[in-house]
Amino acid sequence: MASNGNGRISSGQQHCTAREKKLRNSIRLGHQQQLASMQDWTDDDGKEDSLEWKTPSSDILGLKQSLNFECSNSIPINFSEAWSFFQASDMSQFMAKLDLDVAPITFRSKFSGFMGNPPLKPKLTAQRDLIFAIAACPMNNDLSVHRRILQSIYVFMTKNPSCPRYGNHWEEVGFQGQDPASDFRGVGMLGALQLLYLSSSQETKDTLAPDLLALSRHPIYEFPLAVLSLNVTKMTLDAFRDGILNRFCNKKDDAISVLNRFYLSIMYRLYRKWKDNKVTVHNCSFLMKAVEKWCRTHPRKTFAKMNKYLAANGSSDTLDDKKPYQKLGIGGESNGQNLSWLDLTKPSLEVFI
């Protein structure tokens, strides 16, 4: 349950929480009624018809859709808020599965750093472990922050303040079905966080994000944007795991900001190559592999090209060795529209459950 910062729960949140519990109880009751009537769906041998069992009743779907809108006033959520949620969460069950022990920094490891990839600073290993734990964490529909992250992606991408949890509308931003949570296999909630970052950060929400969305909807060159983004998150994680980003993380004393910038840089290169070479989703495999290989081989140039793009679009937040890294701003209004509900400079109504 969320608090308003003073340790109190707002009346709007109380209403939202009470209503949500009521709907969840109704869903649970409906599910129990389905179990009780399973005899009507079985054959003479007592085996249920799998097709019927997998199809929920219209009443249950209706209750789910009602639940979709109950907490709409608690979205959107910004990246900083979402990242803080995971920092404060108990991620031990996911960290226990990780094998990311780092050898101590020695003279030999420092010397090898001049020749190749240096080891990550010990003080950054906790953040590194958290990043991989989030990548191993599946979307949990019982956590309101998880739902808000998911729905905020759609809200920021489409500028539509209404976002049901389930439905065909998710295909508008490149998910593959009515429940986008099923697409996060392999990168977990980190895939959702980076897609949220692309769609909401000050430097890309009015530039790269809408450009990518427009290209993804092109009648010839169309592609599933969210699926592409999740693939890029996987590329970014692999590069991070292999130590390719260590030098940049050590330089900036931060890992998640470098990880996000590398993710944006790959997305930008894919956008340019896809558009310039008139690639379609049917022959994009070669492009994906070529871009990943180039970015891994030339990380400094990868960042530089993204910096040039940001500078050309009026952003002063660049990642290079000559300028101290500034954490990226998030929020504000867009395209002159009245989008005050997207103002992320103000605290949201709900942070933690």
Reported residue count of the chain is 353
For residue 347, the model assigns a pLDDT of 33
For residue 334, what is the DSSP state? -
- The tally of domains found in the chain comes to 2
Residues 159 and 31 reside in one and the same domain: no
3-state secondary structure of 192: helix
Residues 153 and 236 reside in one and the same domain: yes
pLDDT greater than 60 at residue 206? yes
Domain-embedded: residue 350: no
Among 281, 179, 199, 190, CA closest to 241: 190
Residues 222 and 123 reside in one and the same domain: yes
Residues 66 and 143 reside in one and the same domain: no
Query: Per-residue pLDDT tens for 288-320?
Result: 999 999 999 999 999 999 999 988 887 655 544
Domain-embedded: residue 5: no
Q: Which domain holds residue 24?
A: 11-41+48-73
Query: Per-residue pLDDT tens for 210-256?
Result: 999 999 999 999 999 999 999 999 999 999 999 999 999 999 999 99
| DSSP per-residue letters across 240-291 | HHTTTTHHHHHHHT-SHHHHHHHHHHHHHHHHHHHHHTT--GGG-HHHHHHH
Residues 129 and 148 reside in one and the same domain: yes
pLDDT class of 98 with cuts at 50, 70, 90: confident
Query: Per-residue pLDDT tens for 46-91?
Result: 443 332 333 344 444 444 444 444 444 466 899 999 999 999 999 9
pLDDT greater than 90 at residue 331? no
Residues 100 and 64 reside in one and the same domain: no
Domain-embedded: residue 285: yes
Residues 238 and 222 reside in one and the same domain: yes
Among 120, 127, 178, 130, CA closest to 154: 178
Residues 52 and 105 reside in one and the same domain: no
Instruction: Identify the residue whose tokens are 């953040």.
Output: 127
Residues 299 and 206 reside in one and the same domain: yes
Distance (Å) of CA 22 to CA 80, 140, 333: 31, 19, 35
Cα separation of 78 and 184, whole Å?
19
Query: Does the bond joining 138 to the residue before it have cis omega, within 30 degrees of 0?
Result: no
Residues 174 and 220 reside in one and the same domain: yes
Residues 97 and 24 reside in one and the same domain: no
pLDDT class of 282 with cuts at 50, 70, 90: confident
Domain-embedded: residue 79: yes
In this structure, what token pair is assigned to residue 333? 């209004």
Domain-embedded: residue 344: no
Residues 69 and 79 reside in one and the same domain: no
pLDDT greater than 70 at residue 329? no
